[in-house]
Structure 1
Amino acid sequence: MSKTDEAYALLRRDILAARLRPGQPLKLGALSETYGVGWTPLREALSRLEAERLVTLASNRGFAVAPVSRAELEDLTHARLVVELPLLLESMERGGADWESAVVTAHYRLSRCKIAPDDSSDAAMDEWDEKHAAFHAALLSAAASGWLLRFQTTISDQLRRHHRHLSLMPAIRAANGQQDGNAQTMAALRQAMAIEHHTRLMEAALERDMARARDLLREHIGYTMHVYVHAEDTLPRRMRRRAANGG
């Protein structure tokens, strides 16, 4: 792996996991100290990430982590539905015994993960992210459209940043004395991450129940939007701009 590839992989990992917060400035000196990589590979890696819309570059301000927003999440939610729904239906039509086994195995592994309301450590959330992505990838794995699968991966990566940002919102509210709002948002987050809805989606897919699978996927994709709107609306108005920028 070249130094540029190494820097790209490290930065991308921490941006998707929201360890580098939305809106956070990306200063080459600080990044070089943190990751042990020189300025030239870092600059090249940041340019690659800008092309993926994970990083922004503004004149006289330099690089920063791309912000998150309700409008962006609404756009991504719509895009995910447009791309993922036909992939799921095609996968259900084409999938055989190996596909069924992969879906069941991925669901079991996801069911063993702790969710953010119970364990908000980076390690626990990284594991849930990985297993959650693997479950949805397994559901779609029998589809034949390579381009749609590539689009789905790109959308999924962008949504992961929003998912991880949601886990930060209760901490923002708690720090400002909003315990009730914090509890309500954590309850909404628990519902969105719960295994039960994933189980129903798996069962509909394995039973080849197209109508039920379509409805469940639409509901499932909408959960993130529901949690985001709920979390944002319970923040004080003065905090909403800071939350949107990861502060």
Structure 2
Amino acid sequence: MLLRDNVYESLRADILSCRLAPGDDMREQELAERYAVSRQPVREALLRLEREHLVTVQPRQGYRVNPISLSDARDLLRFRLALEPACVAEAIEHAPDKTLQALDGFRSFAGNREDFITYNRAFHSALAHASGNRRMAGALCDLIGQADRLVRVSLANVRDHDPTQLVAEHGELIEAMQRRDRRRAATLIKAHIQQTEKRVLPALKRNAVIVEEKNT
């Protein structure tokens, strides 16, 4: 992998994991020291992240990690609502039995909050790749990755977070997919994403790094 891609991946991961939090100011020299590189690959990485709407360039001041807006969070989840059911349908139609059986590894979960975020991302990424459609899987995995910081910020505002219900929903979806029941699987994955929106958006509203959408 080229050096500039290493820097881009590291910086993107730090933003999505909230190690660089929404609203944080960044400077090229400080980031170059952080990743032990020159400023050029840092600048290239920041410009790529600006195109992904994760970073804003501030003339003569540096860069800022974009706050999370409610409208952008809603848009992301609605895009996922359109794309993930299509990936599930493709997986049911075309995935080999062994691919669907491998989803059994996600029927249970044990760990802390950070472990759950990793588990949840891995599960939904597995659904994306099970589709066998590289373009859809790539787009969905990007959405899932960007949703990580939504999940982190929202979980920080949920007391006594219990993942049991979410893991149970995953199990029901796995059952439907392994039976190749397209109608049941479509109902389950849509309901799962809609419930995510109902949990995440109210929690995001309570966080100081959220910005309200502006009327245009």
Runs of 4+ in 1 over 4 A off after TM superposition: none
How much has 1:91 moved relative to structure 2? 0.7
Distance in 2, matches of 1:155 and 1:147, equals 13
Aligned partner of residue 21 in structure 1, secondary structure: coil
Identity %: 30
Map 1:1-247 → 2, pairs under 5 A: 1-105=1-105, 107-108=106-107, 111-116=108-113, 125=114, 127-168=115-156, 170=157, 185-187=158-160, 189-190=161-162, 194-233=166-205, 235=206, 242-244=208-210
Matched with 1:122 is none
Distance in 2, matches of 1:204 and 1:31, equals 46
Is this contact kept in 1: 2:8–2:46, CA < 8 A?
A: yes
Aligned length: 211
Distance in 2, matches of 1:104 and 1:90, equals 18
Structure number with higher helix proportion = 1
Is this contact kept in 1: 2:109–2:116, CA < 8 A?
A: no
Normalising by structure 1, we get a TM-score of 0.75
Q: Identify if the C-alpha distance between structure 1 residues 18 and 192 changes in structure 2 by more than 3 Å, giving closer, same or farther.
A: farther
Distance in 1, matches of 2:59 and 2:196, equals 33
Normalising by structure 2, we get a TM-score of 0.84
1:112 maps to amino acid: F
Aligned partner of residue 190 in structure 1, secondary structure: coil
